């Protein structure tokens, strides 16, 4: 069965960076893109963008350009979200989710990773 298992919670200082992982199993990794979704405290879910696992091309939503990087290692079927120069407002739960081919809804999700940015 399809599973996306994310790395554990992170506590980071402002200005640091963090890398969240998302281990995929149960399907051919390069057949589906991987998307990232954020939920900040008290906010609604927010689509961050996605990475095409066949072409390696990332697409970032406007609010997530510059400090956010999507990557993956298809040899270990793992996708990554890196956030640089962390700010307090980056505190959120980050989800990876498998993107359906050709469309932008998400059929399997990871359990979420809480990233807390605090001094």
Contact positions vs another protein (CB under 8 A): 4, 44-47, 61-63, 95, 97, 100, 103-112
Residue 69 CB, shortest distance to another protein, in Å, is 18
Q: Report how far residue 116's alpha carbon sits from residue 119's, in angstroms, rounded to the nearest whole number.
A: 10
Cβ-in-10-Å burial (0-12, 13-18, 19+) of 95 comes to buried
Q: Which is nearer to another protein, 85 or 111 (CB)?
A: 111
Phi then psi dihedrals of residue 29, to 5 deg: -55, -40
Per-residue tokens: 63:
């609010």
Q: Which is nearer to another protein, 103 or 119 (CB)?
A: 103
Q: Which is nearer to another protein, 13 or 44 (CB)?
A: 44
Residue 74 CB, shortest distance to another protein, in Å, is 22
CB 33 within 8 A of CB 51: yes
Residue 104 CB, shortest distance to another protein, in Å, is 4
């Amino acid at each position: 069965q399809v599973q996306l298992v994310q790395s554990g919670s992170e506590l980071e200082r402002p200005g640091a960076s963090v890398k969240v992982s998302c281990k995929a199993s149960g399907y051919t990794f390069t057949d589906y893109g991987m998307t990232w979704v954020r939920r900040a405290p008290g906010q609604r879910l927010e689509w961050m963008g996605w990475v095409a696992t066949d072409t390696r091309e990332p697409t970032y939503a406007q609010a997530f350009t510059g400090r956010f990087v999507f990557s993956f290692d298809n040899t270990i079927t793992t996708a990554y979200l890196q956030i640089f120069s962390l700010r307090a407002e980056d505190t959120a739960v980050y989800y990876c989710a498998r993107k359906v081919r050709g469309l932008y809804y998400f059929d399997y999700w990871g359990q979420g990773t809480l990233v807390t940015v605090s001094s």
